[in-house]
Amino acid sequence: MKTVDLVYFNAGGGHRAAAQALEQSMAGRPWRVRLVNLTEILDPDRLFHKLTGVEPEDIYNRHLAGGFTIGLPQQLKIVQGMIKFCHHTMMQRMRVHWQKAAPDLVVSLIPNFNRALCESLMSARPGVPYVTVLTDMADHPPNFWVEPDLAHQHVVCGTAYAANQALVAGCAPERVHLASGMILRPAFYESAPMDRHAERCALGLDPVQPTGLVLFGGRGTQAMKQIAKLLPDVPLILMCGHNTALARELRGLPSRAPRVVLDFTPEVARWMRLADFFIGKPGPGSISEAVHSGLPLVVMRSAKTMPQERWNTEWVKEHQLGVVYDSYKTLRAAVEETLSRLPALRVNVQRVRNRAVFEIPEILAQLMADVDPPQRPQAALPSSPLC
C-alpha cells in the first residue's frame, strides 16, 4: 500500500482545511494518507511554545483576527529571510523525518518552505514525487509557492493564471498541472434535500428578501462588526468561527433586519445554501466555497488586503462574479449594486465548475505510477545546532 503524506500548518485555516479535504477525497483508494504538521517536524519538542506561551502560527492568526494586516508584506520578507538563514537546520530535521516516515509521495499545501521540504525529501528518499498544491489562486509575491529552479517540484495550480506564472518562472511544462479551482471539502458537493423556504422562516429570515452571508475565515475578524453596523437593514448570517467573543458582540448590536450569528460550525456548506450573496475578504477558500454554492461576491481590496489575496479580486472582476469595493465607505453601494444585479451575477457564478478535490488525487495517482521505487538515501547531512 502506498503512503501519501499531506503537509500543512495552522497559519490561517486554509492549509489544514485543504489537507483534510484531500484526505477525505482519497478515501477508498489503496493509499495510506497521513496529515503532517510541518511545525511538529521543525519543533517536535515545542520549544517555541515553551518559551513564548503560543504556537508559531498563533502570531499570524491573531493578526488576522484583529484585522491587523497592514505591514504583512514586510513581515513576509523577514520570514522568508529567516527561512533561508535556517535552511540547513531545517533540511536536517526534515531529512530525518522523511527517512523514518518513508512516504511514497509528499504533497505540500503550504508556501515558503517548499525548497527545504523538496530538497530534504530528495536527499532522504530519492525518486519519491514531491508535489506542491497551491491553495492560493496566484503565486504572489513571486516564489511564494513556486521554486523555479527546483527541478523535482511538481506544482498543481487552481487557475490558468497561476499555471502560466509557473511556466514563465521556468518550471518544466510536464511538472505544471492545472486543476479547475481551489480545493473544497467534499461536503460542498453533497446535495442533501433542503426546504430552504422553511429553514429560513425557522431562523427568522425572510424567505424572499436576499440575505448576505458574512464570513472572514475560521477565526472571524473585527471587520465583521463594522460590516454589521454599516448594514443595519440588510438580513445577514454572520459566521464567527472560533471567535466566541466576536459572536457575543455581534449579537448585542442593534439592527432593523433579521440576523443570525453563528459560532463555529462545520456546516458551512449548509449555511451558504441558505444565503443569497457573500460578504467577506477575498480569501481563495472562502470565495471558492461561496461561488460553488451559487453566491455572488462582495469583497474588499484595500491596503489591508493580504498580498497573496489581491489577485483574487481580479478573478472576481474578470469572471463578473460580484462587486469589489475599496473601503467601508463604499460597502453599502457595493451591496446595493450586487442586489440590483443579483440575477445576472447568479448566472455567471453558476458557470464556474470546480472539481479540484477530485481531480488532484488523479494527478497524484499518475505521478506515483510514473516513478520507480525510491533509491538508496544519500549520506546524512552534518549536524548543526544553529540556523
What's residue 203's pLDDT? 97
Q: Which residue type is seen at 249?
A: E
- With the C-alpha atoms ordered 143, 41, 19, 107, is the resulting torsion angle positive or negative? positive
What's residue 332's pLDDT? 97
For domain 2-184+355-369, say whether CATH 3.20.20.10 is its number: no
What's residue 142's pLDDT? 76
**What are the two backbone dihedrals, phi and then psi, of residue 81, each rounded to the nearest 5 degrees?**
-65, -40
CATH of domain 194-350: 3.40.50.2000
What are the distances in angstroms from CA 95 to CA 56, 80, 379? 21, 20, 10
Could you tell me if 331 and 231 are in contact, meaning their C-beta atoms sit under 8 angstroms apart?
yes
Q: Which residue type is seen at 39?
A: T
Residue 220: all three cell numbers together: 472571524
- CA atoms of 255 and 262, how far apart (whole Å): 16
Could you tell me if 238 and 224 are in contact, meaning their C-beta atoms sit under 8 angstroms apart?
yes
Please tell me the pTM assigned to this model. Answer: 0.86
Could you tell me if 292 and 268 are in contact, meaning their C-beta atoms sit under 8 angstroms apart?
no
What are the distances in angstroms from CA 264 to CA 150, 181, 217, 299? 39, 25, 10, 22
Per-residue pLDDT of the chain (387 residues; tens, 9 = 90+): 999 999 998 876 689 999 999 999 999 999 999 999 999 999 876 655 445 555 555 545 554 555 545 555 556 666 666 777 788 888 999 999 999 999 999 999 999 999 999 999 999 999 999 999 999 999 987 788 998 788 899 999 999 999 999 999 999 999 999 999 999 999 999 978 899 999 999 999 999 999 999 999 888 889 999 999 999 999 999 999 999 999 999 999 999 999 999 999 999 999 999 999 999 999 999 999 999 999 999 999 998 888 889 999 999 999 999 999 999 999 999 999 999 999 999 999 999 999 999 999 999 999 999 776 555 454 444 444 334
Burial label for 184, CB within 10 Å (0-12, 13-18, 19+), is buried
- With the C-alpha atoms ordered 325, 288, 266, 339, is the resulting torsion angle positive or negative? positive
**99: CB partners within 8 A, 6+ apart:** 124, 125, 377
CATH 3.40.50.2000 in the chain, residues? 2-184+355-369, 194-350
